[in-house]
Structure 1
Amino acid sequence: VRPDAARGGVPITIKVEPVDGLDGTVISQAISLFVDADESGGAEPGKSVPKLIIQSYSSDPTLVNAGENFNLTMRFLNTHSVREIRNIKGSFSVTAGSNESGNVFTPVGSSNTFYIEKISPRNTAEWNVTLYTIPDAKSKTYTVTISFEYEDDLGNSYTSSEIIGIPVYQPSRFEVSEISLPSDTYIGNPIYTGFEMYNLGKTEIYNVKLRVEGDFEAQPKSSYFGNFESGRVEYFELNLIPIMPGLGTGRIIFEYEDASGDIHEVVKEFSMNVMEMDFPVDFPIDDPGMKPGFEDQPQKSFFKSVWFYVIIGAVVVAVVVVIIIVVSRKRKKNKEFDF
């Protein structure tokens, strides 16, 4: 049946004749065949309509990063077995977006419409476009609607639409401030430290927690903070206590989950030279009354000390003073006797 056959009954005559001019009886039989088509020769609505569908599609990269370009490739299929489709105009739209940046996907170097001249029956055509993803897109799969307008080979117009999904990943940015610790310390000496944690990304992160590992006791040894919305800053402090001499090493491990459920870690490593408490060799540890620094000092000779010379000088001065006093009194008495 021709594609442009009109709807209705079509008479068909079947005739049987002898071959090679031989005598015989000629037999003929008329039958009628009904063609289901509209008056113009096109297919009846809902009957044998050429359909255009998306056979396959892909994005490169598969998981699209927010704030970056990606390539979208789609393959369209004409499902009809005999009819060609022509003048195909397509467009895509995304309803999701943001107040700051607009639609989540924007074409790069082109518009959001495309044109395909024709697709033969049961054949395909391919179209690709470069799209830009807005920086503040959330981590989720966005629905994209592809709309078609096309004609068949008889000039009949059709419209259709297909839906595809494009997953977008918003990278997380969790950071920790510098952790300041001394280079040397003693066993059992608590070391206080404090630091800040930041969510610098544009998406929320989940189940934030930390733990301490290594050659140190920690107070606390672990802690859970919950979810961090974008822009959150959290301050935390802890004590580290060295437990063995030598080069002590440790790690503070921060763990969180992104919107895709993937677990990430941020590790801060540290090290300190841990020393033992040293006491003097002759320190009387068993004498509770003795204090450090009061151990016995070696004795010096008195006659070689400075005090010996001080005393000798004082005695000499005293003798001189006594002599002067005695002489003075004696002269005074002699003067009295002269009168």
Structure 2
Amino acid sequence: MRKGLVILLAVIMTVLPAGTALAAEDTPAAGTQDAGTVLAIDNENLYPGMDQPYSSGYMPAVAGGSASIVLPLVPAQELQGGSINITVDLGDASSSPFVFQNYDKTVGLKEHMVNNGAGRAKACLVELNLPLAEGRLSGRYPVTVSVQGQVQGGAQFTQAFTLYVTVTDGIDPNAPAAQDPGDADAPAGGTGGGGGAGGGEAKPKPKVMLGGYSVNPSPVLAGQEFGLSVTLQNTSDSQPIKNMKVTVSGETADIIPMGETNSFYFKKVAKQESAAIDTRLMVQQTAEPKPQKILLHVEYEGDGGTEVTSDESIVIQVKQPVRIEYDEPEIPQEVNAGDTMSVSMNVMNMGKGTVYNVRAEVEAPGLVPEGSLFLGNLESGAAKKGDLYVFVSTLDSSGADAKYGYTNGKMTLSYEDEFGEVSTQEFDFSTNINPPVINAPQEEEEEEKPETQSQWWISVLILGAVIGGILGIRYALKRRKQKAEDNEDV
């Protein structure tokens, strides 16, 4: 029975939505006969180029200016031609860190060495090497691998597997903007006049630049306020600036000011001096978890009342709060040693962002789980359910009295946000381990045997009595007939 449950668990893990770093989504091709879900990610085996299997948390590697992706796909149906076609979507070209080129290819179904040469597995092994662009920003970026193919019989299928690549060697989106080296300013243009004097020499305009900023907290949580401190510096070494007005706003409606005003006035900023602004803003609850811009519009005057305007921007990272809820698993109060019990877990993502690598584990003396329950990624508003199989052993093998009794344990649910930060929730439980139940079918048969034998002898006696009665009647009739014949002769 335990072997059958292990096989059932493997089947369940195969059909769950795929991947540690991926969220698999099936999208049938329009206008064709849909073959259903054909491909699933091989969660258990370690393929070349992977540091760990998907069930243990595989993530694409980033090194040497490129990202490497290994995606083993196992077909549940026979593929026509023994191959699939893939296309790669790298997202928005204006913000993606990847070099855009043609990554489409055909991938065949072949046997591959797995688990560091300890075994072989048959799969369509998608291997991608994505060069990273210069000037890229650090962050987490989606890569969608779309698969098209046919199964035997001609039915077509299309599936999409989205995974996330974490880039850490790029430009920090929260770093202060680099200052322009040097202090040379453009000429004001035109010549000054007055009082009949001839043309005067044009003076350079003073320049205001972002000297630095800080965001607290960072990353900024959607739906909450945050503080912003900004320093604006007069880079001129010869002129002050006057009547400086600074307006702070969000690039989109996702960021709104929370102070009494979002405009700040400074009567004068001396040469090589700076002005500081402290304000509070808020990110809307519905904001997407991605980098967002804060805009600074600066208006000021130089010598002679020359009006100058400039614009600066600050990039902040917005994250959505993680809201994971689950149905409390039901664990029996009484179990028997030698049994295998199933623990169901239903997890729901109530937040606005995606959570990654959702898994559950059981720890308790005397309980031996057959692995961890891996549910993969959960999109906003999605729910997934799975079963974790646990073998009931004994508490201690040193003595008969210590083998059975109550055991206390915990079930741990863990998951990651879009920044890779791991969160956990724990559920405590207790159960009583009883001795194994041993059935005795032979004793029951022996108890039933005398009753069966008794019923057989009764049947024989009844049959003998019936036969004896028939013979007696026939003998009596025969004697009567013989007597009548003797009387006739006399």
- Structure-2 residue corresponding to 1:169: 319
Distance 1:225 1:179, change over 3 A: closer
Distance 1:226 1:182, change over 3 A: closer
Cα distance between partner residues in 2 of 1:74 and 1:128: 7
Q: Offset of 1:293 from its aligned partner?
A: 12
Q: Which amino acid aligns with 2:274?
A: T
Q: Offset of 1:137 from its aligned partner?
A: 2.0
> Does structure 2 conserve the Cα–Cα contact (< 8 Å) formed by 1:48 and 1:80?
no
Q: Offset of 1:247 from its aligned partner?
A: 2.4
Distance 1:231 1:293, change over 3 A: farther
Is 2:192 the partner of 1:40? yes
Cα distance between partner residues in 2 of 1:232 and 1:265: 19
Aligned to 1:49, what secondary structure does the other structure show? coil
- Structure-2 residue corresponding to 1:59: 215
- Structure-2 residue corresponding to 1:262: 421
Give a deviation string over 1:271-310, Cα, whole Å, max 9, x none. Answer: 211111488xxx9x8xx7423997xxxxxxxxxxxxxxxx
Cα distance between partner residues in 1 of 2:271 and 2:217: 32
Match of 1:217 among 368, 371, 377: 368
Distance 1:140 1:235, change over 3 A: same
Q: Say what the alpha-carbon RMSD is for the aligned residues.
A: 2.8
Q: Which amino acid aligns with 1:256?
A: Y
Q: Which amino acid aligns with 1:216?
A: L
- Give the 5 Å matches for 1:281-300: 289-291=442-444
- Give the 5 Å matches for 1:61-80: 61-80=217-236
Q: Offset of 1:209 from its aligned partner?
A: 2.4
Aligned to 1:291, what secondary structure does the other structure show? helix
More helix by share: 2
- Structure-1 residue corresponding to 2:22: none
Is 2:241 the partner of 1:85? yes
More strand by share: 1
Distance 1:37 1:113, change over 3 A: closer
- Structure-2 residue corresponding to 1:233: 383
Is 2:358 the partner of 1:208? yes
Cα distance between partner residues in 1 of 2:410 and 2:220: 33
Aligned to 2:305, what secondary structure does the other structure show? coil
Q: Which amino acid aligns with 1:200?
A: M
- Structure-2 residue corresponding to 1:138: 288
Aligned to 2:444, what secondary structure does the other structure show? coil
> Does structure 2 conserve the Cα–Cα contact (< 8 Å) formed by 1:65 and 1:169?
yes
Aligned to 1:203, what secondary structure does the other structure show? coil
> Does structure 2 conserve the Cα–Cα contact (< 8 Å) formed by 1:201 and 1:230?
yes
Cα distance between partner residues in 1 of 2:422 and 2:298: 41
Identity fraction in percent: 30
Q: Rg bigger for which structure?
A: 1
> Does structure 2 conserve the Cα–Cα contact (< 8 Å) formed by 1:209 and 1:255?
yes
Cα distance between partner residues in 1 of 2:255 and 2:363: 44
Distance 1:233 1:37, change over 3 A: closer
Match of 1:151 among 274, 285, 301: 301
Q: Which amino acid aligns with 1:231?
A: G
Distance 1:247 1:145, change over 3 A: same
Q: Give TM-score scaled by structure 2 length.
A: 0.46
Cα distance between partner residues in 1 of 2:377 and 2:201: 59
> Does structure 2 conserve the Cα–Cα contact (< 8 Å) formed by 1:242 and 1:248?
no
Q: Which amino acid aligns with 2:209?
A: I
> Does structure 1 conserve the Cα–Cα contact (< 8 Å) formed by 2:405 and 2:434?
yes
Unaligned runs of 5+ in 1: 1-35, 97-102, 295-339
Cα distance between partner residues in 2 of 1:210 and 1:204: 17
Distance 1:263 1:94, change over 3 A: same
Q: Which amino acid aligns with 2:444?
A: K
Give a deviation string over 1:117-148, Cα, whole Å, max 9, x none. Answer: 11011111111111121112233321222111
- Structure-2 residue corresponding to 1:95: 251
Give a deviation string over 1:62-112, Cα, whole Å, max 9, x none. Answer: 33221111121111111111211111122233333xxxxxx1211114343
Q: Offset of 1:113 from its aligned partner?
A: 2.5
Cα distance between partner residues in 2 of 1:158 and 1:278: 89
Distance 1:224 1:195, change over 3 A: closer
Structure 1 window deviating more from structure 2 (103-112 vs 48-57): it is 103-112
Aligned to 2:443, what secondary structure does the other structure show? coil
Aligned to 2:304, what secondary structure does the other structure show? coil
Distance 1:122 1:260, change over 3 A: same
Q: Which amino acid aligns with 2:368?
A: E
Q: Which amino acid aligns with 1:153?
A: D
